[in-house]
Amino acid sequence: MTAAESYLPAGWAWYIAIVTVASLAYCLWVLISNNTRKLPGEEVKLHGTNVWDGLREYDNPLPRWWRNLFYITVFFASAYLILYPGIGVSTGILGWSSSGLHKAEVEATEKRVAPMFENYAKQDVAALAADEGATKIGASLFQAYCIQCHGSDMRGAKGFPNLVDADWQWTGTPEGILETILGGRNAAMPAFNEQLNKDQIADVVNYVIQLSGRQVDVASAARGEATFKTVCAACHGPEGKGMQALGAPNLTDSTWLYGGSAAAITETLVKGRAGVMPAFKDFLGEPRVKLLAAYVYAQSREAERTASTQ
């Protein structure tokens, strides 16, 4: 890794390189300068006057095996720094890098599995959803890239949609799910704290709660209905059933992305929401995204069938 590729500024990279090389040179100098030998018949002198528990330290030469092992260590480290990018300012003679190794491994893997993914790429999402082998690969992809937001059980969390409840902010068709994963989604709910006063917001909250079938202050909800149809109906529709084309959720059911309590709805109106689903087309490629979409579609259909039989 060169200084340009390092996370450190160029000055620090050079500082580390100089300290590393100087340390190796110092180790070599210490070895050479202390390379003494005991001559035959020569009396070994005491090293200082320290005595501990009757033990004295003599100034014997370093054992040859230990000294040679130290030489080998220094020369090995020097050779490593010459061949590999160990000091941060040079790529090394071999030009090796961890990113290069990863790229080569990815390319080798892609070459090996490409024929299989090409076969899947020719099929539509609905057909793949009925293919056990395809959905197994899709499940692996989901576990690798999607559980961080949607959970291993696909039921999501606050701010992250449940994918198996048959309630879709955007369309839940095979094509719609594929489009969502390929291109991502941006859900923008604007803040109304400047457009509406506190009383108007409270009235709208009451009306929204009423839409989902709960008991509220009837007079407040009536006032909120007028405000809702003026300000909110453009996205959520005059009846509050939402518009999947815009990603505006249905407000008349019991499914809430950020919570359906009065406090949560008030927070949504006051602060707005900004949900982002990243695009995976460039990251995974369309064949893998198709398998991922097929798995999501298959699981949502299975959840619908299970719910209908209960």
> Using one digit for the tens of pLDDT, what is the confidence trace for 270-301?
999 998 999 999 999 899 999 999 999 999 88
What are 222's two structure tokens?
Answer: 């009536």
45 shares a domain with 21: yes
Asked whether residue 128 carries a pLDDT value surpassing 90, the answer given is yes
Asked whether residue 34 carries a pLDDT value surpassing 70, the answer given is yes
Tell me how crowded residue 86 is: count the other CB atoms within 10 A of its CB: 15
Question: Which pLDDT band holds residue 41 (cuts at 50, 70, 90)?
Answer: low
Among residues 291, 292, 280, 297, the alpha carbon closest in space to that of 173 is found at 297
In a domain, 236, yes or no: yes
265 shares a domain with 119: no
What is the pLDDT, as a whole number, of residue 5? 52
List the domain range (segments joined by +) for residue 31: 10-96
At residue 172, what is the residue type?
Answer: G
58 shares a domain with 124: no
In a domain, 5, yes or no: no
Range in 109-123, 156-170, 201-215, 248-262 the model is least confident about: 109-123
Comparison of pLDDT for 101 and 297, the residue scoring more: 297
202 shares a domain with 126: no
Among residues 155, 148, 121, 161, the alpha carbon closest in space to that of 137 is found at 121
In a domain, 283, yes or no: yes
How distant is the alpha carbon of residue 271 from its chain centre?
26
What is the pLDDT, as a whole number, of residue 306? 65
CATH number, domain with residue 113 = 1.10.760.10
What is the pLDDT, as a whole number, of residue 96? 85
269 shares a domain with 287: no
CA distance 294 to 175: 10
* CB distance 174 to 261 below 8 Å: no
198 shares a domain with 129: no
* C-alpha angle 154-157-160 in degrees, rounded to nearest 5: 80
CA distance 209 to 221: 9
Average pLDDT over residues 73-89: 88
**What's the alpha-carbon Rg for the chain, to the nearest Å?**
34
268 shares a domain with 143: no
137 shares a domain with 208: no
Provide the domain count of the chain.
Answer: 3
Residue that has been written with the tokens 């069938």 in this structure: 305
Asked whether residue 303 carries a pLDDT value surpassing 80, the answer given is no
β-pair partners for 55? 52
In a domain, 23, yes or no: yes
72 shares a domain with 33: yes
What is the pLDDT, as a whole number, of residue 42? 65
Asked whether residue 131 carries a pLDDT value surpassing 80, the answer given is yes
Range in 1-10, 45-54, 197-206 the model is least confident about: 1-10
Which domain-ending residue is among 40, 71, 96?
A: 96
48 shares a domain with 30: yes
Question: Which pLDDT band holds residue 7 (cuts at 50, 70, 90)?
Answer: low
Among residues 8, 17, 21, 7, the alpha carbon closest in space to that of 89 is found at 17
CA distance 273 to 122: 38
Which domain-ending residue is among 71, 96, 121?
A: 96
CA distance 188 to 96: 45
Average pLDDT over residues 232-255: 92
Greatest mean pLDDT range, 13-22, 106-115, 148-157: 148-157
Average pLDDT over residues 264-271: 95
Comparison of pLDDT for 202 and 88, the residue scoring more: 202
